[in-house]
Amino acid sequence: MFFRPKPLKAFQRALGKYKVLLAEEDRLTYSFDVTSHRATPDLVVLAESAEDILTTVHFALDEGYFITPRGAGTGMSGGSVPLKNGIVISTERMNRILEFNPDDRFMIVEPGVITADIQAEAARHGLFYPPDPSSYKVSSIGGNVAENAGGLRCVKYGTTKHYVLGLEFVTSRGELCCTGSLQKTVDTPDLTPLLIGSEGTLGIITRIMLKLIEAPQTSGTMRIIFPTLELAGNSVSEIMAAGIVPAICELMDKSVLDAITEYAGTQLPEKTEALLLIEIDGTPEEVKLGLSQVEELCRNRQALEIQSTRDAKEAEGLWKLRRAISPSLARIAAGKINEDVCVPRSKLPDLLVEAQKIAAKYKLRIPCFGHAGDGNIHINVMFNPEDSLEKQRALQAVEDVFRKVVRMGGSISGEHGIGIVKQNYMKLQMSPGEMQTLKLIKEAFDPDNIFNPGKIFPE
């Protein structure tokens, strides 16, 4: 894209030249996220403050450029890939915790703070920030809010949206606005929920006020192996129906366990078809009771093996299988489409069975695992990217999965967002009226479509 030299110079002077990247090798590093989508921005701004973002938005408005906000680039739906080129605003340098009030249990942070740093700072004061996407050591809180990130602990503690008290953001007209508790007017409609999960299409988030809660005193971990998927799935439903709410309830199907066995040589009982990893947290008494109740329930459901511990080091051993999933799958095939679908918990076994039928139909491997406690499962369609026919079959398999999920009353995205990768499937799930309403909201916030164009809405 052509930049007029004079306005560009003035912009660089206003911002500080060192915050503006124009060299191709620099811009390339902001051209991708975790998906296979790539698009190189024409210019990258390394914002250090809300003022830098305001200056950039005014420059973009005057010169007619698009803007794509970017956190840490760990997104799994293409959200931070600048489809229409233009400017990428990276918030990686806006990484300060601005205020921490342990008494009133809130923290105000800039969007570039890494999720794990928020958790660690809260923990230092005996407090807890529960949302824990598996990427928590590298993802930014701005990206978490923009995607409404979930994670392992959603089943008990909810997703990012349950911990955002207020936001500050830059509008597409280049103004700074506040919402929720950062705005302080309590009786007006709160815009916070609209911005959460908006994937950088409505505004650029510059400050986030987060709710913290009291940290659980202790936790216990269980690894339970089942001879069938149905028994594992039904056990999850029974555990929840009994009023036990695990902090974590992860399920792995046989296809994933086979991949781990191939990779790590792990020995599992013969006839293993599914594995549950459960964590109970609370007071020592609650944990003890919860573990024994889950154990009894699972024994009645013909569990082949149950391991349980309240020792943190031993628990780490039980987590080994879960942590081995990514490297194990990487060995199966170079191509992987990881879909984070969600179904009502009771439908989970049906969905996993359907996924294996689809795998057989398209002659592909589809290992599945995920957050069984809230019905959010990662369906991984593995393929050889060099083989265009196999890639085509993989895409058809994904569409089949989405159709099944919607028929089961579920959602095509549980946590990774729509971005580029799911925009063409939105119509499977939303009525024309619902799509139109979303578009009207986008038009109200961003009438000229300068923020993250080409995302969420099929064009």
Ligand X SMILES: Cc1cc2nc3c(=O)[nH]c(=O)nc-3n(C[C@H](O)[C@H](O)[C@H](O)COP(=O)(O)OP(=O)(O)OC[C@H]3O[C@@H](n4cnc5c(N)ncnc54)[C@H](O)[C@@H]3O)c2cc1C
In whole angstroms, the minimum distance from the beta carbon of 130 to ligand X comes to 13
Closest CA to 347 of 322, 369, 381, 376: 376
Figure out which of the listed residues 54, 122, 146, 232 binds ligand X, where binding follows CB under 6 A: 146
Figure out which of the listed residues 130, 133, 367, 373 binds ligand X, where binding follows CB under 6 A: 133
The pair phi, psi for residue 196, each rounded to 5°, is -70, 125
CB nearer to ligand X: give 336 or 347: 336
Strand ranges of the sheet holding 368-371, from the earlier edge strand across to the other edge: 305-309, 218-226, 274-282, 248-253, 368-371, 376-383, 335-342
3-state secondary structure of 172: coil
What count of Cα atoms within 13 Å lies in the side-chain half-sphere of residue 228?
A: 8
71 binds ligand X (CB under 6 A): yes
367 binds ligand X (CB under 6 A): no
CB nearer to ligand X: give 71 or 130: 71
Figure out which of the listed residues 35, 56, 74, 255 binds ligand X, where binding follows CB under 6 A: 74
By CB under 6 A, which span of 146-154, 295-303, 309-317, 427-435 interacts with ligand X?
Answer: 146-154
Residues in CB range of 311: below 8 A, 6 or more apart: none
88 binds ligand X (CB under 6 A): no
In whole angstroms, the minimum distance from the beta carbon of 206 to ligand X comes to 7
- What is the DSSP track for 286-306? HHHHHHHHHHHHHHHTT-SEE
CB nearer to ligand X: give 416 or 422: 416
249 binds ligand X (CB under 6 A): no
By CB under 6 A, which span of 37-45, 76-84, 246-254, 387-395 interacts with ligand X?
Answer: 76-84
Q: Please, which of residues 337-356 interact with ligand X by CB under 6 A?
A: none
Q: Please, which of residues 258-287 interact with ligand X by CB under 6 A?
A: none
- Strand blocks (E) in 115-173: 127-128, 164-170
149 binds ligand X (CB under 6 A): yes
CB nearer to ligand X: give 127 or 204: 204
177 binds ligand X (CB under 6 A): no
User: Do 347 and 409 touch, CB atoms closer than 8 A?
Assistant: yes
By CB under 6 A, which span of 144-152, 222-230, 316-324, 390-398 interacts with ligand X?
Answer: 144-152
Figure out which of the listed residues 134, 171, 356, 411 binds ligand X, where binding follows CB under 6 A: 134
CB nearer to ligand X: give 68 or 308: 68
Figure out which of the listed residues 48, 52, 121, 147 binds ligand X, where binding follows CB under 6 A: 147
User: Do 398 and 406 touch, CB atoms closer than 8 A?
Assistant: no
Q: What b/e readout covers 242-254, taking b as 16+ CB neighbours within 10 angstroms?
A: eebbbbbbbbbbb
In whole angstroms, the minimum distance from the beta carbon of 319 to ligand X comes to 14
* Rounded CA separation 355/390 (Å): 17
* Rounded CA separation 339/454 (Å): 20
Alpha helix stretches (DSSP H) within 324-421 = 325-332, 348-362, 388-407
Q: Please, which of residues 398-457 interact with ligand X by CB under 6 A?
A: 415-416, 452
91 binds ligand X (CB under 6 A): yes
CB nearer to ligand X: give 125 or 162: 162
Figure out which of the listed residues 31, 35, 56, 135 binds ligand X, where binding follows CB under 6 A: 135
Figure out which of the listed residues 11, 30, 33, 418 binds ligand X, where binding follows CB under 6 A: 33
139 binds ligand X (CB under 6 A): yes
How far is CA 341 from its chain centroid?
12
Radius of gyration of the CA atoms of the chain, in A: 23
Sign of dihedral through CA atoms 315, 320, 322, 326? Answer: positive
Total binding residues toward ligand X, as defined by CB under 6 A: 35
Figure out which of the listed residues 3, 8, 26, 34 binds ligand X, where binding follows CB under 6 A: 34
Strands 43-46 and 87-90: parallel
Strands 127-128 and 106-109: unpaired
- What is the DSSP track for 252-285? EEHHHHHHHHHHH-----TT--EEEEEEEEESHH
Contacting positions for ligand X (CB under 6 A): 33-34, 68-76, 79-80, 91, 111, 133-135, 139-140, 142-144, 146-147, 149-151, 199-200, 204-205, 415-416, 452
